[in-house]
Amino acid sequence: MQVKDKIVIVTGAGSGIGAATAKHFAKHHATVIVSDIKEEKAKTTVEQIKQEGGKAVVITANVAKYEDVEQLISETVSQFGQLDVIVNNAGIGPRNMSKTAEYTLEDWDSVIAVNQTGVFYCMKLALQQMMKQGSGNIVNIASLAGLKASLNNLSYCASKFAVVGMTKSAALEYATKNIRINAVCPGYTESALLSKLLSVRPDMDDMLKSVIPMKRYGQAEEIAEAVVWLASENTKFITGQTITLDGGTSL
């Protein structure tokens, strides 16, 4: 895929889909800014990339803090002179899976702050830089929960529906500016979020797999391949799209 020498930020790249995406970009000869709220996890991803001969650096950031995102973008441009791609992957789930009437204010506020407002901050500031340089590419990590209802998961579902909407709105706004904006919507994928869910409800493992036609969870690497493809020069006529990777679950 044609991403060689591109300068790429991946948020939430200390684990899961983010780490796999950072590694996949590096494999295809991009320079990757590995960003995560947890510095040690980000450093581990960078070390793994460098062991494979790739180029990567760490810039820590909490995407729910505007000043952190400002620093992330400014440091990237200061070090590398440009920002070609940002992958807005950082995300969290609620502490408690509850029906709407019992949903806690803490779970609502924290999930919306990271998954929705954090994506807005990253898009806003990345777009300012991309407009200056006359090109850019944004890939947002949404979810199957951004396309279909998700029981007892209101804040996560709301935030991911918002990411899909923000992707489409911004793509329309910047389509004539040589800036493409797309989203991927993973279904049930092996990740920290899924592990957390199954640790609380082990009985859900068989239930979840029963609704996936392929009868297995997705792999982080499979999502990463789609992200890098959307960010590459191979997809120059694609913008405002949501690519669903769910093993057929949405069928």
Region 146-165 average pLDDT: 96
User: Which pLDDT score is estimated for 83?
Assistant: 98
| pLDDT tens-digit readout, 200-236 | 778 878 888 899 999 999 999 999 999 999 999 999 9
Calculate mean pLDDT across residues 32-39.
98
Share of the chain above pLDDT 70, in %: 100
d(CA 143, CA 183): 9
Alpha carbons within 13 A on the beta-carbon side of 235: 23
Query: Which tokens is 182 given?
Result: 């797309």
Tell whether the model's pLDDT for residue 1 goes beyond 80.
no
Which one from 156, 174, 188, 217 is the annotated catalytic residue?
156
pLDDT tier at 19, thresholds 50, 70, 90: very high
Residue pLDDT, tens place only, 53-73:
999 999 999 999 999 999 999
The predicted model gives 27-39 an average pLDDT of 98
Helix/strand/coil for 88? strand
Give domain limits for the chain: 7-189+219-245
What are the CA-CA distances from residue 46 to residues 29, 62, 85 (Å)? Answer: 14, 18, 18
- Helical (H) or strand (E) element with 198: helix 192-200
* Res 205: pLDDT: 85
Mark whether 156 is an active-site residue: yes
pLDDT band at 159 (very low <50, low <70, confident <90, very high): very high
- Whether pLDDT at 107 is above 80: yes
Please spell the DSSP secondary structure of 153-192, one letter per residue.
Answer: -HHHHHHHHHHHHHHHHHHHHHGGGTEEEEEEEE-SBSSH
Q: Give the whole-angstrom CA distance, residue 123 versus residue 139.
A: 10
Mean predicted lDDT score pLDDT of the chain: 96
CA–CA distance, 120 with 104 (Å, rounded to integer): 23
pLDDT band with cut points at 50, 70 and 90 for residue 113: very high
CATH superfamily label, 7-189+219-245: NAD(P)-binding Rossmann-like Domain (3.40.50.720)
Q: For residue range 72-90, list pLDDT tens digits in order.
A: 999 999 999 999 999 999 9
